[in-house]
Amino acid sequence: MSEPTKATPAAAGRAATKKELPEHFKAYKHVWVFIEQERGQVHPVSWELMGAGRKLADKLKVDLAAVVIGPPGEAVQHAAAESFCYGADLAYIVADAVLMDYRNEAYTKALTDTVNTFKPEILLLGATTLGRDLAGSVATTLLTGLTADCTELDVDADGSLAATRPTFGGSLLCTIYTLNYRPQMATVRPRVMPMPDRVEKPATRIIEHKLGLVEEDIVTKILSFIPDRDSAKSNLAYADIVVAGGLGLGSPENFQLVKGLAAVLGAEFGCSRPLVQKGWVTSDRQIGQTGKTIRPKLYIAAGISGAIQHRVGVEGADLIVAINTDKNAPIFDFAHVGIVTDAIRLLPALTEAFRARLSPHSRDRIAS
């Protein structure tokens, strides 16, 4: 990503930067999505990217391809077949025993070789730990541009990828182009793009590509994998209901009020960036540009002012409820429902009111 500070003063001149795609890049066509699968599970961000990729491919009138990399067997075949249900026109598979678990060396070679052989114009990856590790290596190997953590992808009139991302911790947005290099690469964080509907479709065109590596070629060895304990796992990004707190709570003790409401609603809890910086809450609970992006049906923000860095992480929520004492707080610019009051007083009352409403007794009432 170019540094916007340096680019901004020259924006007028830069906007004139011409597209002069070298001849050897003109054969690059089609949109690809890297399908991230580990231990037999496809990361949902891959399907979210298929939805975004489908739109780009339709606009460009080209194919959308899924690229699945992993060990030979059921999981990889299934992921490739599944990609057709999320909009793929074709799928590439690189399957080899050395691709059993993610290792940078082998996956970089697999993806780089596939790109060099089949020449896509756009390559999208999820901005997960795996996707970021891989994308950085692949883009450097291919000497092309890579735009990280995009929040919007589009193609402009001349068919170039316009990748928009927040910058400076989300104080501004910038639109970045890779005009004269191919493929145009971008990563997108989980939950930023909506999950497309799954439509049953037959797997038609699957192209297998050989890796050409043996285990002895790969220096890095995996000694073990320690799965996270269930209790440590948070499903924040994919939760249907999220309750979060910010500096307006005043003290780490008051954060319990957020957890209390979350418990009654069967929700996940989260927080804004300052609470992580103050050490009140652990970083895996942070919501926003540098934390998790969420798309719940209901989001309740208590004592959060609503800096842009927070806003970009919650805008996909169906219903945003903001509780804040300051009626001019920026959060009321993007919340749907606001209530101007002190979250410290409202949260316990809200918890009790929801508890009463949501008791098994009220469930019968709804059923009848």
Partner 1 sequence: MHIVVCIKQVPDSAQIRVHPVTNTIMRQGVPTIINPYDLFALEAALQLRDKFGGEVTVLTMGPPSAEDSLRRALTYGADRAVLLTDRFFAGADTLATTYALATAIRKISETFGAPDIVFTGKQTIDGDTAQVGPGIAKRLGLLQLTYVARINEVDPAARTIEAERRSEGGVQVLKTRLPCLVTMLEATNEIRRGGMADALRAARAQIVTWSAKDAGVEDISKCGLKGSPTIVKRVFAPSARAEKAVFVDFSNKPPAEALIEELFKRQPKLEAELISSAHGF
Contact window for partner 1 (CB under 8 A) among 46-54, 113-121, 248-256, 326-334: 326-334
Give me the DSSP letters along 35-48: E-EETTEE-HHHHH
One residue of 33, 281, 312, 344 binding partner 1 per CB under 8 A? 312
Q: Looking only at residues 335 through 364 of this chain, which bind partner 1 when binding is defined by CB under 8 A?
A: 335-341, 346, 349-350, 352-354, 357-358, 360, 362-363
50 neighbors 86 (Cβ within 8 angstroms)? yes
Q: Cis bond leading into 166, ω under 30°?
A: no
CB nearer to partner 1: pick between 215 and 352: 352
Question: Residue 90 or 147: which CB sits closer to partner 1?
Answer: 147
Token look-up 């001019």 returns 328
Q: For partner 1, which residue of 21, 25, 29, 38 counts as binding (CB under 8 A)?
A: 38
Residue whose CB is less far from partner 1, 64 or 163: 163
Which of positions 43-102 make contact with partner 1 (CB under 8 A)? 43, 101-102
**Bridge partner residues of 320 (DSSP):** 299
Q: Which two tokens stand for residue 33?
A: 């999505």
303 closest CA partner among 255, 237, 240: 255
Rounded least distance, CB 322 to partner 1, Å: 6
**252-291 positions binding partner 1, by CB under 8 A:** 264-267, 277, 283, 289-290
Shortest CB 327 distance to partner 1, Å:
7
Please state the closest distance from residue 207 (CB atom) to partner 1, in A: 26
Contact between 26 and partner 1 (CB under 8 A)?
Answer: no
Q: 134 to 193, contacts with partner 1 by CB under 8 A?
A: 135-137, 139-141, 143-149, 162, 167-169, 171-181
Compute CA distances 64 → 33, 53, 228, 246, whole Å. Answer: 8, 7, 34, 41
Q: For Cα atoms 173, 178, 183, give the angle at the middle one, nearest 5 degrees.
A: 125
Q: Smallest distance from the beta carbon of 208 to partner 1, in angstroms?
A: 25
Angle in degrees, CA 296, 297, 301, rounded to 5: 65
For residue 114, the one-letter residue type is T
- Identity of the residue numbered 75: A
